[in-house]
Chain A
Amino acid sequence: MKKDFRVQYPLWQMAFIVLLGLILFSVDGATTEFIHNEDELRFGTQFPPLESVLLYGSIFLTFLLITIFSLKLSKHNKQHPDQKLSMWQIRPIEYLEQDEGMTYITRRASQKVYTFFVWALPFMAVIYILFEVPRFWMIFGILFLAWMQYLIYYVEVRRQLKEEDE
């Protein structure tokens, strides 16, 4: 059960969020040049060496992860033809709803995530209102909340399944 794709799905999302954060960091470090005069109209972006490596490395890793993710998803769908999942479905993939016990675990984990957001969102909003937070850090904060959401969900589901195994 712990190796079920739906149980591990939050880890995938966490990895994608980290990669998105690295892409964000790289793009933030870029310098842009906009020249508009009688002779020319030019727009250019330059990345320092570290940011350049991070950007291309992160994009490469993102595509690699998407490929592996797709393969895992199709493997899951082959093994569970009655519980097929799609990358584009509206209901979160991580929901375990095979039966009422699994729905109970999902509810417990979702409640923890909801509690986290009830406190984290107003707190972050206050920080953003009180301080002049650069755009990079604002987006980074949102990514951090998203990352935490999946961490809380994953830890709770794992804890429930582990307790049951003992």
Chain B
Amino acid sequence: MLHNRVKELRARFGFSQGQLGERVGVTRQTIGFIEKGDFSPSITLALKLAREFEMKVDELFWLEGEKTS
């Protein structure tokens, strides 16, 4: 299962789900699915999200049991 810090970072950057979705070109619902961990985004979307949060993809997403930071 893929884990992520999207919710935490979105709050830190002060974005709503809709605003973040708009910035990376997806719907608010898709951001919600990612935050809940139901849905693994494509590499393209993961890269866009990482760029928005100014970090590497593997700092934003990681596999279960593999978080290093």
Contact = CB atoms under 8 A, between A and B. Distances in A.
The answer to whether A and B assemble together is yes
- Size bin of chain B's contact surface: 10 to 19
Contacts of A98: 26-27
Report whether over half of chain A's contact residues are helix, strand or loop; otherwise say mixed. helix
Contact of A104 (B28, B31, B39): B39
- Size bin of chain A's contact surface: 10 to 19
Contacts of A102: 27, 29-30
Given A100-B26, A101-B32, 13 more contacts: A99-B25, A99-B27, A100-B42, A101-B29, A101-B31, A102-B27, A104-B33, A105-B29, A164-B29, A164-B32, A164-B33, A164-B36, A165-B32
14 contacts: A1-B27, A1-B28, A98-B26, A99-B25, A99-B27, A100-B30, A100-B41, A101-B29, A101-B31, A101-B33, A102-B27, A104-B33, A164-B29, A164-B36
